[in-house]
Structure 1
Amino acid sequence: MGKKTKSAAREWVIAAVVAAALVLIIRSFLFAPYEVYGQSMEPTFKGSELLIINKLIYDVKDPQYGDIIVFHTAEQSDYIKRVIGKAGDRIEVRDGKVYRNGRPLKEPYLNEQKILGDFPTTVVPKGHVFAMGDNRNHSQDSRKIGPVAIDQIAGRADVQLTPLKDMKFLFP
């Protein structure tokens, strides 16, 4: 092998190692793929969609109303839900609607007209959010599992990758 061939081969190996290291860093600390399972986020997600979650966002800022978050719980590995309430908010479900601090939420992303069953007023504790699935009548969410600790949040869903015709950014 000539000098040029050895040099080119070494450059390719270095480039491959650097690329692998970058992928590992990005995947471990910044972004991760997440596949939606189940019907709890319909009509926003039908199930089997592939999303990219931003793992770093909540190290920089607090979750915002409407953020779609992925979080871990002790009873199940991952949940995907929408932030409805933040620390200090009073959340209640009555007469088929969600109320935050006494005012009904405007939720154009929902299909269903009325939520079945009521949920008593709950104050979201400090360091937590109240999260609900968009398919309110078929969702295991903060009404059942309680408020979500911010340190349980794996990240915010930022990009929908599949199906390709629906590819889009998910944040405002």
Structure 2
Amino acid sequence: MAKKEKGKSEWFDWAKALLFAFGLAFIVRMFFFAPIVVDGPSMLPTLHDGDQMIVNKFSYRIHEPERFDIIVFHASAQKDFIKRVIGVPGEHVEVVDNVLYIDGEAVEEPFLEEKNGLYQTAVNDFSLETLPGGYEEIPEGHVLVLGDNRSNSTDSRMLGLISMDQIVGKTSLIYWPFNRLQILGE
């Protein structure tokens, strides 16, 4: 009998350990980190279709998004998008002849320099007033996002400003494919 009770106790200990591990994994995935796969060409050349990344869901509980952060947000109930934060609250944003202007000052976008026009085939001029919502400046609790591949990206130019409530988190770690392993923008 003692051997049978010891076996039950051992199974119970294993079951508790597995339940704890699954619970911990669930909490980490739900509130701190989650994987995401890049779908499409909108962030080329920075991110490639099929890149697998980690989303930090905790980062924006501590601080607000900053210009050029790469974020994941809920574009719809079924689809999350990955884009780059270009404008933050209180700013006026416009692009003229593919030059970004924040509050009237030209801002360099170093992540676009390696493109050499490859992904920038069309001039995508816009100003904040011409976007959905017609704002004169980005209101509190919102950001303006653009894809790095401006000529092939569904972003704030079509979707409008992104509410902080829509943001899942910040992403900067590509972990797969292994030959693309890197931390972006750090």
Matched, 1:117 2:115: no
Aligned to 2:174: 160
Q: Structure 1 residue 75: deviation in Å?
A: 8.0
Aligned to 1:37: 39
What is the alpha-carbon distance in structure 1 between the residues aligned to residue 158 and residue 55 of structure 2?
Answer: 24
Q: Structure 1 residue 7: deviation in Å?
A: 3.8
1:112–1:135: 8 Å Cα contact kept in structure 2?
Answer: no
What is the alpha-carbon distance in structure 1 between the residues aligned to residue 43 and residue 68 of structure 2?
Answer: 13
Aligned to 2:50: 48
User: What's the TM-score, normalizing by structure 1?
Assistant: 0.90
1:21-45 per-position Cα deviation (integer Å, ceiling 9, x unaligned): 0111111111111111010000011
Shift in CA distance, 75/5, structure 1 to aligned 2, threshold 3 Å: closer
Aligned to 1:59: 61
1:134-159 per-position Cα deviation (integer Å, ceiling 9, x unaligned): 11111111122111111110111132
- Equivalent pairs: percent with the same residue? 40
Shift in CA distance, 75/100, structure 1 to aligned 2, threshold 3 Å: farther
Shift in CA distance, 9/156, structure 1 to aligned 2, threshold 3 Å: same
Aligned to 2:134: none
Matched, 1:142 2:144: no
Q: Structure 1 residue 76: deviation in Å?
A: 6.3
> What do you get for the CA RMSD once the two structures are aligned?
1.9
1:35–1:51: 8 Å Cα contact kept in structure 2?
Answer: yes
2:124–2:150: 8 Å Cα contact kept in structure 1?
Answer: no
Q: Structure 1 residue 160: deviation in Å?
A: 1.0
Unaligned 5+ residue runs, structure 2? Answer: 130-136
Unaligned 5+ residue runs, structure 1? Answer: none
What is the alpha-carbon distance in structure 2 between the residues aligned to residue 65 and residue 156 of structure 1?
Answer: 12
Larger radius of gyration: 2
2:42–2:153: 8 Å Cα contact kept in structure 1?
Answer: yes
What is the alpha-carbon distance in structure 1 between the residues aligned to residue 173 and residue 20 of structure 2?
Answer: 25
- Segment of structure 1 superposing worse, 6-15 or 34-43: 6-15
